[in-house]
Amino acid sequence: MTTAPDPRPSAAGTPTPSAAAAPPPAGTTPPASAGHPARSAASARAAARVQQVPAGERGATRIADRVVAKIAARAAQEALTGPPAGAAPPHAAVTVHHDIARVRISLELGYPTDIAAQCAAVRRQVADRVEECTDMAVPEVDIDVEHLHAGPGAGSARGRVR
């Protein structure tokens, strides 16, 4: 009478010969080259080609104008100190040519405010953030102040003039 080998590990913790040839446990994947010499040779050739081409020459990254515009609008919002209640968030329009972005920001400010200082802060923040996030040069940031919002009591202190 013959008996089949036991697939369970022996008392010493080593599997019997029939257990060693068992498929891998569920949820694991065998290596790509296991039993497939053609695949391992092809993957080795592909890896060699990637290593031969410098990283900067493997392809190009294109950032859409609308993505740059969203970055610019968010940067303008961050730069504004205390945007007035009821003001629309800043809007950006961007034109990208090669690696140069020209930005136009439309925004609303509170009244009274130092318009020049606010615009300078927005201009600096937008140029810095766009250059930081996209690695594009930003030679100009045009700002359109579309509306001034009077704060509470802006004209009531003096009363009505006849």
What is the Cα–Cα distance from 126 to 119, expressed in whole angstroms? Answer: 10
Nearest residue to 87 via CA among 148, 143, 142:
148
Task: Indicate whether 6 pLDDT > 60.
Answer: no
Top mean pLDDT of 26-40, 46-60, 101-115, 143-157 is at 101-115
The rounded mean pLDDT for the chain is 80
Measured distance CA(80)–CA(68) in Å, rounded: 19
Give the 3-state secondary structure of the chain: CCCCCCCCCCCCCCCCHHHHCCCCCCCCCCCCCCCCHHHHHHHHHHHHHHHHCCHHHCCCCCCCHHHHHHHHHHHHHHHCCCCCCCCCCCEEEEEEECCEEEEEEEEEEEECCCHHHHHHHHHHHHHHHHHHHHCCEEEEEEEEEEEEEECCCCCCCCCCCC
DSSP lists the bridge partners of residue 102 as 95, 140
pLDDT value of position 117: 94
- Residue 39 reports pLDDT greater than 60: yes
pLDDT over threshold 70, residue 99? yes
Which tens digits make up the pLDDT trace of 111-133? 999 999 999 999 999 999 999 99
Q: Does the domain spanning 65-150 belong to CATH 3.30.300.20?
A: yes
Selected residue with higher pLDDT from 113 and 159: 113
Residue-level pLDDT at 149: 92
Query: In the chain, what are the domain boundaries?
Result: 65-150
**pLDDT score of 19 more than 50:** no
Q: Can you tell me the distance from the alpha carbon of 105 to that of 91, in angstroms, rounded to the nearest whole number?
A: 6
For the cut 60, the answer to whether the pLDDT of residue 63 exceeds it is: yes
Residues 6+ apart with CB under 8 A from 53: none
- State residue 24's pLDDT score: 57
Q: Is the pLDDT score of 52 beyond 90?
A: no
